[in-house]
């Protein structure tokens, strides 16, 4: 398999990096209520492992009474998701020769890392 030179891929790297930065800024501005869909799998996993009951507290996250912990925005796995996306997009783009395939690599990278994120949070 022939790899393409890095200079030819600069636009694709910049596009992936821009998406990464925009999503990170959006996540920083989001509250705990906005990322509840990311917190729920982590909450379920902790609940299964510990048998602890959980309560969703608005603007805080999931509170586990038995453990006296809150699963909040910082536990959502979003950083894992975004770093996985960026690495996948960055490494895979050099193996495509046609511009359309390179740009399609970016949403494919996001779908693949999203699947990885889902599988990581569903194991239990």
The answer on pLDDT for 122 being more than 70 is no
**Residue 108 domain-assigned?**
yes
- C-alpha 122/C-alpha 124 separation (Å) is 6
**Residue 105 domain-assigned?**
yes
- The residue segments making up the domain with residue 46 are 7-122
Residue-wise pLDDT tens digits, 65-116: 877 888 888 877 788 888 888 888 888 887 887 888 888 888 888 787 766 5
**Residue 46 domain-assigned?**
yes
Domain count, the chain: 1
Local structure of residue 9 (DSSP, 8 states): G
Of 112, 37, 50, the closest CA to residue 77 belongs to 37
Question: For residue 15, what is the enclosing H or E element?
Answer: helix 10-29
The answer on pLDDT for 14 being more than 50 is yes
**Residue 34 domain-assigned?**
yes
Handedness of CA 96, 5, 15, 85 (dihedral sign): positive
**Residue 93 domain-assigned?**
yes
**22 vs 108, which has greater pLDDT?**
22
């Amino acid at each position: 398999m022939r790899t393409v030179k890095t200079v030819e891929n600069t636009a694709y790297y910049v596009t992936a990096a821009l998406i990464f930065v925009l999503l990170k800024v959006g996540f920083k501005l989001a509250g705990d209520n906005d990322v509840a869909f990311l917190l729920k799998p982590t909450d379920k996993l902790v609940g299964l492992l510990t048998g602890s009951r959980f309560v969703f507290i608005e603007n805080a996250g999931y509170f586990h009474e038995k453990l006296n912990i809150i699963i909040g925005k910082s536990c959502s796995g979003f950083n894992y998701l975004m770093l996985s996306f960026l690495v996948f997009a960055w490494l895979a783009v050099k193996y495509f020769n046609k511009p359309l395939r390179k740009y399609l690599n970016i949403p494919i990278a996001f779908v693949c890392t999203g699947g990885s994120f889902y599988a990581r949070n569903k194991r239990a």
